[in-house]
Amino acid sequence: MGDLVHTLPAVAALRQHFPEARIDWLVESRHRDVLLDNPDVSGLIEVDTLGWRRRLLSPRTWREIRESIRRIRERHYDFVLDLQGTVKSAVSAFLARSDRRIGFGASHLKERAAALFYTECVSANGGGPHVIDRHLRLLRALDIETGERRFPVSVSPAAEVAAERELERMELSDFAVLNPGGSWVTKRWSPERFGRLAVEIEREWKLPSLVVWGPGEEGMAREAVEASKGAARLAPSTSLRELVSYIRKARLFVSGDSGPLHLASACGVPAVGIFGPTDPARNGPFGEGDEVVWKEVVCSPCYKHRCPGYGNVCLTSIEVEDVLSAVRKRLDGK
């Protein structure tokens, strides 16, 4: 999800430069809601690579793969941009019918082999280190030079109403949102510390917390709520669009490096990011005044899904007071 959010400004720049063009976006089905009603996108081509890996031997999987390939090849494109830089995304670009497949050079890719599938490689050097700015630099292959960051993230009226009803039921009007989940184990700060943070936020700002969670994360969210001594409430199960509604109504969003954190920055909500194995200069929250808590250790950044024997010290060394200090700076404007 974070990759999608970080790519929004590049697609917005494409639309501004090519107002009449058809711009299709290849997206994982589970994250499609982030892009629904996006005025810069003409159409979505959905794939479910996670589901395919889980049921690789099923005939249904191969039918879905064939249909996805058919949709990728349905049109002839003037150019195809691979902003993710993995072998998976590069192969998808290769499958599309186009004479121009544009990506970064091997030294700037998540997976260097992806460069083999491009017809043009662009240097990521120059400008800021954040991945958003790197994505914008890829547009130089199309003679587009811009640093503008625009994030069109929509909320459906139905999702807005559902969120308002739940907040009214929980008697929450002014609140913080805490997100203890994350796609990697190494990105997840302790739920118990999230709970203690909620206690301090309520004590200092009279601000209750709402703990949100995604698939497979409800246990972590409940642990954080139990550790909060009543300072935090458990959010209901939400769709992505409902989550955006909760985020937009919050006074503060605190999370590890995750898609919801980047959504909060995109929506202009004050954010505090808790970072461990990833580099906040590249992946951190990007709203003006947003804060990051990061303790650089000898092995960081490592971008590993599992800590190779150091006890995840990059995150375990971050104390509640460290994050509380960042919250003070963000909320008090200092």
pLDDT of residue 56: 84
The rounded percent of the chain whose pLDDT value lies above 90 is 73
Helix or strand (DSSP H, E) at 313:
helix 313-316
Neighbouring residues of 130: CB distance < 8 A, sequence distance ≥ 6:
281, 282, 283, 284, 286
pLDDT of residue 51: 87
90: phi then psi, degrees, rounded to nearest 5 = -70, -40
Q: Please name which of 297, 323, 328, 334 lies closest in space to residue 312, comparing C-alpha atoms.
A: 297
The reported pTM is: 0.89
Residues 82-106 have pLDDT tens digits of 999 999 999 999 999 999 999 999 8
More confident residue, 1 or 4: 4
Alpha-carbon distances of 127 from 3, 138, 146, 282, rounded to whole Å:
19, 12, 10, 12
Distance CA 51, CA 68 (A): 13
Q: Please name which of 282, 329, 16 lies closest in space to residue 149, comparing C-alpha atoms.
A: 16
Q: Please name which of 173, 183, 236, 253 lies closest in space to residue 206, comparing C-alpha atoms.
A: 173
Compute the mean pLDDT over every residue in the chain, rounded to the nearest whole number. Answer: 92
- 22 pLDDT exceeds 70? yes
Neighbouring CB atoms inside 10 A of 306's CB total 10
Residues 25-59 have pLDDT tens digits of 999 998 898 898 899 999 999 999 888 888 888 88
Alpha-carbon distances of 16 from 11, 20, 148, rounded to whole Å:
9, 9, 11
CA 206 to chain centre: 29
For the chain, the 3-state helix, strand and coil shares in percent, each to the nearest 5, are 45, 15, 40
Omega cis (within 30) before 270: no
* Radius of gyration over every alpha carbon of the chain, rounded to an integer in angstroms: 20
**Both tokens of residue 139?**
């547009």
Fold classification of 2-142 (topology level): Rossmann fold (3.40.50)
What are the residue boundaries of the structural domains of the chain, listed by start? 2-142, 157-332
Residues 260-311 have pLDDT tens digits of 999 999 999 999 999 999 999 999 999 889 999 999 888 888 888 888 777 8
Residues 206-228 have pLDDT tens digits of 999 999 999 899 999 999 999 99
Distance CA 106, CA 122 (A): 10
- Residue 273's Cβ-side half-sphere holds a number of Cα atoms within 13 Å equal to 30
Q: Where are the beta strands (DSSP E) in 134-216?
A: 176-179, 209-211
Alpha-carbon distances of 306 from 236, 241, 276, 284, 312, rounded to whole Å:
29, 30, 12, 20, 8
Domain 157-332 class in CATH: alpha beta
Neighbouring CB atoms inside 10 A of 259's CB total 23
Distance CA 147, CA 304 (A): 30
Place of tokens 């709970």: 195
Give yes or no on whether 2-142 and 157-332 have one common fold.
yes
- 334 pLDDT exceeds 60? no
Q: Please name which of 221, 219, 203 lies closest in space to residue 211, comparing C-alpha atoms.
A: 221
206: phi then psi, degrees, rounded to nearest 5 = 55, 40
Distance CA 148, CA 231 (A): 39
**Both tokens of residue 13?**
């720049």
